[in-house]
Amino acid sequence: MSAPVLVLFLTDGGISAYRATRREAVHLADFPVSPQPDLREFIREWQTAEFHLLVDLAEEAFHPESVPHLARADREALLLRKLEQAFRQTPYRRAVVQVAGKRGAQDKLLLSALTAPEKLDALVETLLQAQCAIAGIHSVALTAEALLAKRISLMPHCLLVTPSPGNGLRQSHFTQEGLRFSRLTHCTANNTAEEVRKTRQFLTTTRQMLRDEPLEVLLLGDAGVATQLPADTPQINARHESIADFAAKIGLPSQTDNWAGLLCTAIARGLIPDHYRPASAARYQRLHKLGQTLQWSAALLLLLAMVASLFTFHQSRQQQEENRLAEQKLQHPLQRQREFEGKLKALDIGAPGQIGEVVELHRRYIAGWLDVETTAQAVSLIFADYPQLQLERFDWQLANAGHRSQMVDLAGRLRPDRQAQGQLEAFAARLGQLPRATVSIPKRPLDLSPHGELGGGENRAPAASDFLIRLVIAPEEAAKP
């Protein structure tokens, strides 16, 4: 029921569309930077998708700053004021506290923004005109920071060099605090090493690192710079990693060899937060989330209705089975009565030779008839001798309709002491002395474990009954040897 994830990758050279999943990103189409009819048609076809905009533009500024540590409300007001002062001309801006100081200390911030919003404005407006949900606007540099979070914590200075479409090269400088600087240049493979040297010189000139400090350079995609730099620049420790190896080390699918595809996969997995989406671009995303919530709620209600229907069906089948057994028990005495009346009509009662057969019919159908009152009287006489027992339920039924066995369940309570337990055992033994009787105690009130108590302890919930005795009386025929 979740909507597909579409990532529009915006660069200076154009727009690339990817359909992203948790395992891969599939390239769908390329479009020019200025929205054209083919891009609008493409967006209309994917109107129900969840759109993410991934931006890799040269016009992206990063300003590290330090401010006094303040309470949360005051800090948020300060961040808004800083953004307004630094990037008044663009709505695509962000301020984040990278290191929170203690009381009286300094907070280290990173202010960043897309300083030329025209290209992104046109794409956002095209999506909003089609009423598409914009889930986030992501920066390539800030996305790389999220992916490198664990690795940069081990290096004082790291320069990540990644490819960008159209012979572009993005260099992002990280310290243990996070991203501090990133720039996009256009160069060829022959002068990549020179661009890395220029970046290090810039970092030392602006005192972001000392001249003798080593710079760890991680180059993704092209191994050429890794062999060009160490020979004549000892302060640069360069190494190359393929996109697949890098993906495997950060726990993403390693079958991809495309940097943009890897970033799209990370976005589809929910690993990358929104960076630059203004509130005005989020209105259809809120409606999209509301629609998804309603869909899931409807699915949950449907599931609950199905479970309730199954439960009702099970209860109905159970009730039907109980009714069938009750009907069977009711029909047995009626059938017995019909047999007796039929056989009695077939006899000539006035003939002296038929007297023996009439007596036999009386013995089989009348004298041997199960009498609940007789059984209840017998049990009551025995029960009167045990005053510590409290009888709450007397259930009589046919144990086996074919053999006319009687089954009596006696449920009740007793006082919580050992003497009452002894009376329960004595009562069961007395019942077992009735003719053709078999007695069992399916439920006892006493926990017989070494630390057991009568009634199961103080915190035990009240039971329906403390004891249950089952008395089965076999018919005369079954009792004979």
pLDDT at 357: 72
103: amino acid identity, one letter: R
pLDDT at 450: 47
The torsion of the CA quartet 21, 25, 30, 31, rounded to 10 degrees, works out to: 40
Nearest Cα to 8, choosing from 23, 25, 22?
25
Q: Residue 286 burial (CB < 10 Å; 0-12/13-18/19+)?
A: exposed
Q: Which residues of 142-157 are buried (b: 16+ CB within 10 A; e: fewer)?
A: bbbbbbbeebbeebeb
CA angle 133, 138, 141 (to 5 degrees): 170
217: amino acid identity, one letter: V
- Give the other-Cβ count within 10 Å of 182's Cβ: 24
Tens digit of each residue's pLDDT, the chain (481 residues):
578 999 999 998 899 999 999 999 999 999 998 878 999 999 999 998 999 999 999 999 999 998 888 888 888 898 999 999 999 999 999 999 988 888 778 889 999 999 999 999 999 999 999 999 999 999 999 999 999 887 877 788 999 999 888 778 899 999 988 999 899 988 766 677 888 888 888 999 988 888 888 899 998 875 555 555 555 567 888 888 889 899 988 888 877 778 999 999 999 999 999 999 999 998 887 777 766 677 778 888 888 889 988 888 888 888 888 778 767 666 666 676 677 777 767 766 666 666 677 676 666 666 556 667 788 888 899 988 888 888 888 888 776 655 568 888 999 888 767 777 888 889 999 999 998 889 998 888 754 444 444 444 444 444 445 889 999 988 765 444 4
**In angstroms, what CA-CA distances link 271 with 129, 147, 157, 252, 382?**
28, 8, 24, 10, 76
pLDDT at 16: 95
Task: Write a three-state SS string for the chain.
Answer: CCCCEEEEEEECCEEEEEEECCCCEEEEEEECCCCCHHHHHHHHHCCCCEEEEEEECCCEEEEEEEEECCCHHHHHHHHHHHHHHHCCCCCCEEEEEEECCCCCCEEEEEEEEECCCHHHHHHHHHHHHCCCEEEEEEEHHHHHHHHCHHHHCCCCCEEEEEEECCCEEEEEEEECCEEEEEEEEECCHHHHHHHHHHHHHHHHHCCCCCCCCCEEEEEECCCHHHHHCCCCCCCEEEEEECHHHHHHHCCCCCCCCCHHHHHHHHHHCCCCCCCCCCHHHCHHHHHHHHHHHHHHHHHHHHHHHHHHHHHHHHHHHHHHHHHHHHHHHHHHHHHHHHHHHHHHHHCCCCCHHHHHHHHHHHHHHHHCCCCHHHHHHHHHHHHCCCCCEEEEEEEEEEEECCCCEEEEEEEEEECCCHHHHHHHHHHHHHHCCCCCEEEEEEECCECCCCCCCECCCCCCCCCCCCEEEEEEECCHHHHCC
Nearest Cα to 57, choosing from 194, 170, 147?
170
Q: How many residues does the chain have?
A: 481
Would the pTM count as exceeding 0.95? no
> Please, are residues 408 and 396 in contact by the beta-carbon 8 Å criterion?
yes
Nearest Cα to 446, choosing from 422, 470, 469?
422
Nearest Cα to 379, choosing from 412, 408, 406, 421?
408
pLDDT at 188: 66
pLDDT at 451: 46
pLDDT at 462: 42
Q: Residue 420 burial (CB < 10 Å; 0-12/13-18/19+)?
A: buried
pLDDT at 404: 67
Q: Six-digit token pair at 269?
A: 């997995």
Using CA atoms, how far apart are residues 251 and 266, in angstroms rounded to an integer?
Answer: 10
296: amino acid identity, one letter: W
Using CA atoms, how far apart are residues 324 and 123, in angstroms rounded to an integer?
Answer: 71
Distance of CA 461 to the CA centre of its chain: 33
